[in-house]
Amino acid sequence: MASVHDVVAAILDRTGPESPMKLQKLLYYTQGWHLGGTGEPLFPDAIEAWTAGPVVPAVYRRHEGTREVGCWPEGDGGRLTAEDAKLVDTVVGRYGKFDRHQLSAMTHEEEPWRAARGDLPDSAPSTARLSESVMARFFGRMISDPATAVAEAAASVHLEGMAVSECAVAAAGAVAEGETSTDEAVRRRLRHLLDAR
């Protein structure tokens, strides 16, 4: 298992200086995609559901009060395995183009942060730990085959006490298979609901 400090150093090796908030979000996505792909954490440190999104307190304590993080002497990105280094490349390539506020907003929409916070308003402080099993399921769905992803999403909604109609499952399946766009599936559903009135 990697050290969180080695992962931070690896991220900064690829991005150059970053804001602490953006660095924290890239760290969260690296952990999330590792959990989704392997079922195991990349690093052992807790990620908490803070107001601005997921934060690793062990990392926060070292960059607290800085406006920009340029290097991370506590870690060495070269200690990551080739596979883990490739994952960092993928995460930075996918999420590095977003600014810190966009990344924070994205995490607020995702199940791991929302589940950890429960009924707390977005602006309320929290030190609740993000569940690694929720992260593994959430990110794993994104790399599952379409039928499995739709079934897992419907099951998650059911666990939250809600129901998913057969029509919604069929529409999600069509989107997952690439048969239609999300926008078109929503338009069709709205037309159906309006016609049923």
**Domain ranges in the chain?**
4-131, 144-195
Tally the residues of the chain: 197
Express each pLDDT in 82-134 by its tens digit: 999 999 999 999 999 999 999 999 999 999 999 999 999 999 999 999 999 99
pLDDT, greater one: 94 or 174: 94
Can you give the pLDDT at residue 185? 80
Residue 10, H or E segment: helix 4-15
Q: By mean pLDDT, which of 22-26, 49-53, 78-82, 143-147 is the weakest?
A: 143-147
Can you give the pLDDT at residue 149? 65
- The CA distance from 54 to 153, in Å, is 22
**pTM across the whole model:** 0.76
- Burial class of residue 43, CB neighbours in 10 A (0-12, 13-18, 19+): buried
Can you give the pLDDT at residue 144? 63
pLDDT, greater one: 79 or 168: 79
Helices (H) and strands (E) counted in the chain, each on its own, are 10, 2
Express each pLDDT in 124-171 by its tens digit: 999 999 999 999 999 998 876 667 667 767 777 777 777 778 887 788
